[in-house]
Each structure stands twice: as structure tokens, then as C-alpha cells.
Amino acid sequence: MDERAFQSWKFEGEEPAMEAKDGLPSAEHLGQRVSIRSHDPEGGFRDLLGHLVTPTQVRKKDGQIVTFDPSTIALWKVVPSNALSTGVFVYDTKSREKREVTISDGRALRLYSCGPTVYRDAHVGNLRTFLLADLLTRIVEVSGFKVHGIQNITDVGHMNEDLRVDGETDEEDKVLTQAKAEQIDPFTLARSYERKFHQDLARFGIKSADIYPRASESIDLMIRIIEQLIDSGNAYVGSDGSVYFSANTFESYGALSGNKLTELVPGHRYEYTGDGAKRFHADWALWKSAGERTQMVWDSPWGSGFPGWHIECSAMSLHYLKGHVDVHLGGIDLRFPHHENERAQSNSASLSEVTDLWMHGEHLLFEGRKMSKSAGNVVLMEDVVQKGFDPLALRLVFLENRYRSQMDLNWDQISAADSTLSRWRKKYQEWSSAELPSDSAEIDAHVESLFDIIRDDLDTPRALVELRAIERDASISPNGKAAIFAALDAVLGLDLTRAPKKIELSPEISELIEKRRTARAAKDFATSDLLRDQLFALGISVKDGPDGMSWEVIP
């Protein structure tokens, strides 16, 4: 029982206060936050605070649905919402319009981002998606609000969508398949790629989420919500021992992706589960029976098995974000079926619209093509570093493009961004050492107008155009420019105030650098590549630009 809930009740003797409602909660109050005081059988009172989901049910803060008997109500009222408006607007996939990001509990923005499936290195396209959560977090924080961010780690249950040669769907778990290929224990594999994921995020300037729950450690949470969905009639146990979500029980299925149930063709592979014992072709597995599988299986009320992928995000978001998600993020490829199914599960389990805003980042192409193993054009963070570029140069390239436009990346863009970063860092040092005074009101006005641009659906490309204009603007003092760049970097995350390292090179390194310069001048590219690798191993990255070769100590 929430004691604070009734602090605002005013009693005059036994009479309820004026603001208490006449009549009973009804359909017109659905979705509102209500406070209900009922008589209990012992002659006392029982208090209930939450959102009205039906005229006789309330969803409490922890997501639990409580049914009350209207005939026992002593008094009740609608409690005004304490939601905060952040002034940040983003495009919501579900309503297909720009909407304001709102902190529904008045304390911290509840942000959920779909995380990596840890069976391989994240490529730069994945990193572009992960950058979205970081950008949103940073702009909400500089606007004066707190963010509570969750990102899941999928280490079990994400089925492989690759088609086998014989045309059958490969029903293998991505982590298990890779563990078999590398001949190691699946958990060892998952933990090692999870570590690499965190390293990549750190090099990319992405601030950590508050919690990174692992699927394999959240099995109890998933079992609990599956049981709830069976009880409510939204899920059933198939004849194969697997549990399926019954798509037809969720009326607004398709609201997110536009894929209506009536239009989904049987046999189309929009879901990674085979037909199995499903009652309807669009149903999907919440829990899969272990069958022959012996690794990564858990006991459940339905026997040994493992969870489906979509249920993981419902279980984690409802648990860690206490029944409501202010903003849910992911790549556009997750919109269907992953997010559509997650929404059906979460909303059915909590009898509410769990997610307020759905944000999706667009696809990244590399040199005009979708990145894929078969096309041989998968680019990793390691490749960017190996080529001698600052990892944050990649971040700058992404910021130059709108998150919800498809973008085509190439090495020239990264190289150009790398030069821009070096120039800005050098200039920052010069500007900040200048002694000319600066007008703080003018600086604040510039910074606020740049933040306003980013608050408008994360329009970082336009903010960067403005920043370049400020760089060239002779009417702004050097100190002023330094202050504006430093302030904006709180959102851009480009480490613009970092001083270039002054270093003494060892004779060995100096000699290798000279040798490489000579090799390049002689167009002996084999030797020059070899020397570049040797220098890289010694912590020096070399770059070939229009002005010849330059080098830098790897940070």
C-alpha cells in the first residue's frame, strides 16, 4: 500500500473532501491515475493508487493489476499527473508524427534500448543504432532531466534467420551456432562478445546505460510474464510443449509496423519459429520446448526449454522500468516482428499501452550496399582504428546524417571527419588560450539555439552546419568559440577539448616512420602497408591524406 498516496486526501470529520468524485469509476476515467479508498471486511480501509485500466481494475506502479469491488468504495478521485515535459521532440513510429519526450513519473526518463545479440562483433551499423540512445540521453540531460536507461544483452533465444541450403529454416540459436563453430562453451562466447561490445561503446563515446540485464539471467522474469499471458488467455501451450502467443487476442496488432494480421501470409518467414504446434500462422513462441537441445536450457512449468527472443524485452522493460517505457529505441529492422510482438506481449500483460514513444534508427549501407558477411563489406570499429582513424571520427560522420534517414558510409567520409576532429581540437586549444574577453550572454544564446536544433528530432546535421558557421564567424571571440564548442560537446560527445598529446618518439619509431614515408613516395605499397602495421603494433597510427603522410599516437 502506498502511504503517500493519500497525503492529499482531506477529511472533514467522516466526510470526504470536495475533490473526491461522485459516482463510480467508469469508462470515461480509463487511463487516468486514480486513488481509491475501499472499506475492507475488518471494518477498516484499503487504499489503492494506480491507473484505471477497466472500471473495476487498477494497474499499480509496479505493473500489477488489482481488481476492486466498486460496491466497497468509500471515496475515490483522479490524481493529477506529475509528468514532466522535456522540450525534446522525436519522431514516433507508432503515431507517425513528432512528439514530445515526456517523463511520465516526474523523476527520470524511462528509456529502453534493444541491445546486441552477443555472438559476433557489433558492426558500425549496429553502433549507429546504439548511438541513438546516447544522443537522446545527452540532450535530455543537458535540458536538465535525469535518464534511467536499460539495454538488454541477448545471450540466448535469438534464432538464426539464415535459410539452409535445402531451403529449410535453420532453427538454431545464434549464440549456440557460433559457439559450435568456435568450439567453445556458449556462455564463454557470449561473455567475450559482450565485453567487446562494451569496449566498442566506450571507444565510440557512448555513455553506459544504468543496467544491462542478460537474457540468460532473466529466465524467471520471462517465465512469470508467460504464466500471466497464459492466465489471461493471450498465450497457450502447444501440443509440442512450446508456449505460443495468440496473435488474434491482441486487437491492435500491427499498429507499429502496419502489418495487419489479416494481411500476413501463412508460410512467410516473418517470424523465426517454424509452424510447430501453432494454432494460427502469425502466432509466435514465447517459450520453446528443449527437444534435442541440451545447452542453454532451463526448467519451466512447461518442461525444459528456452525463451523466445521477443519475450525477453517485454520481461525486462516491464520489470526494470516498473511497468512503463517513456521511450523505446531500436534499429528499423526490429520494428517488425520484434517490436510489434513485444508490444502485443507487454500491453496484454499489463492491460496498458506500455511504451509511449517508439524511436527507430534507419539502415546503414557501406559503399552503396547493405553490410553483410556474404558481400564481404562488414566494417567493425576495429577496422576504423586499424586504418588509423579516431573512433570518434565515425561518430562525427554519423552525427552529420539524420538518424532516421538511410545513410551510405564510405572511408572518405571517415577520413574527412577525422581531419575535422583534429582541426577542431587544435583550434579549441588555441581559442581557449586566447586572452580576449567573451560575452557570456551571447555564448549562452548560441549554445541554447544549438541545443534547440538538436531538441528538434535530434537534428545534429543542422547543428553541425551552425557550429561550422560559428567556427568561421569573426565577430565571435576565440574564448567565446571555445566555450560554445565545449558546451555543445556535452551532446556531440566528440571529445573536442582533448589536448593533442605531446610525445617523444623512440629512435626505432622515428626510423619506421621515415622508412614508410620513403616507401610511399616510391609507390612501394606492399612495404608501406607492412610498415603501417608495424607502427600500429607500436601504438602509432599513420594516415595518408592529400598533404602526404601524417601520424598520431593511438589514444
- Chain residues binding Zn ion by CB under 5 A are 114, 313
Task: Give every CB contact of residue 171 below 8 A, 6+ residues apart in sequence.
Answer: 159, 160, 272, 274
**Closest CB 425 distance from Zn ion, rounded Å:** 37
Shortest reach from residue 315's CB to Zn ion, in Å: 11
* DSSP-based three-state secondary structure for 455: helix
Q: How far is the C-alpha of 30 from the C-alpha of 52, rounded, in Å? A: 5
Q: Which is nearer to Zn ion, 63 or 115 (CB)?
A: 115
**Can you spell out the DSSP letters for 32-78?**
SEEEEEEE-TTSSEEEEEEEEEETTEEE-TTS-EEE--GGGEEEEEE
Q: Which is nearer to Zn ion, 157 or 241 (CB)?
A: 157
CB of 155 to Zn ion, least distance (A): 13
Closer residue to Zn ion (CB): 282 or 316: 316
- Is 313 or 450 the residue whose CB approaches Zn ion more closely? 313
Q: How far is the CB of 241 from Zn ion (least distance, A)?
A: 25
Least CB distance from residue 216 to Zn ion, whole Å? 15
Residue by residue, DSSP assigns 228-283 as HHHHTTSEEE-TTS-EEE-GGG-TTTTTTT---GGGPPTT--SSSS-STT-SSTT-
Phi, psi (deg, nearest 5) at residue 287:
-140, 130
Q: How many CA atoms lie within 13 A of 185 on its CB side?
A: 4
Provide, rounded to whole angstroms, the least separation between the CB of residue 114 and Zn ion.
3
**Least distance in angstroms from the C-beta of 451 to Zn ion:** 30
Residues 6 or more apart whose CB falls under 8 angstroms from that of 95 comprise none
Task: Return contacts of 122-125, CB within 8 angstroms, 24+ apart.
Answer: 122/196, 122/197, 122/200, 122/380, 122/381, 123/371, 123/378, 123/379, 123/380, 124/364, 124/366, 124/371, 124/379, 124/380, 124/381, 124/384, 124/394, 124/409, 125/331, 125/363, 125/364, 125/366, 125/371
Is 201 or 313 the residue whose CB approaches Zn ion more closely? 313
Nearer to Zn ion, 330 or 480 (CB): 330
Give the separation between CA 43 and CA 113, rounded to whole angstroms. Answer: 47
The 8-class DSSP code of residue 335 comes to I
- Residue 314 Cβ, how far from Zn ion at the closest point, in Å? 9
In the complex with Zn ion, the residue whose CB is nearer, 282 or 313, is 313
From CA 481, how far away is CA 446, in angstroms rounded? 10
CB of 397 to Zn ion, least distance (A): 26
The distance of Cα 111 from the centroid of its chain, to the nearest Å, equals 8
Question: With contact defined as beta carbons under 8 Å apart, do 209 and 152 qualify?
Answer: no
Task: Pick between residue 224 and residue 517 the one whose CB is nearest to Zn ion.
Answer: 224
Considering the complex, state which of residue 86 and residue 129 has its C-beta at the smaller distance from Zn ion.
129
* Amino acid identity at 135: L
The answer to whether the CB of 125 falls within 8 A of the CB of 334 is no
Q: How far apart are CA 396 and CA 201, in angstroms?
A: 14
Minimum distance of Zn ion from residue 338's CB (angstroms): 6
* C-beta of 2 vs 210, nearer to Zn ion: 210
- To Zn ion, the closest distance from the beta carbon of 409 in angstroms equals 24
**What is the side-by-side strand order in the sheet with 355-361?**
146-151, 108-113, 325-331, 355-361
Kindly provide the residue ranges of all beta strands, DSSP E only, lying in 275-381, ordered along the sequence: 284-289, 305-307, 325-331, 355-361, 364-366, 369-370
What are the distances in angstroms from CA 181 to CA 110, 117, 383, 544? 38, 16, 23, 38
Query: Closest separation between CB of residue 348 and Zn ion, Å?
Result: 17
Nearer residue to Zn ion within complex by CB, 110 or 516: 110
Give, in degrees to the nearest 5, the angle at Cα 301 between 296 and 307.
Answer: 35
Write out the three cell numbers for 29: 476515467
CA–CA dist 76, 21 (Å, integer): 6
Considering the complex, state which of residue 114 and residue 230 has its C-beta at the smaller distance from Zn ion.
Answer: 114
Grid look-up 497464459 returns: 230
- Kindly tell me which of 241 and 307 has the beta carbon lying closer to Zn ion: 307
**Residue 153 Cβ vs Zn ion, minimum distance, rounded to whole Å:** 11
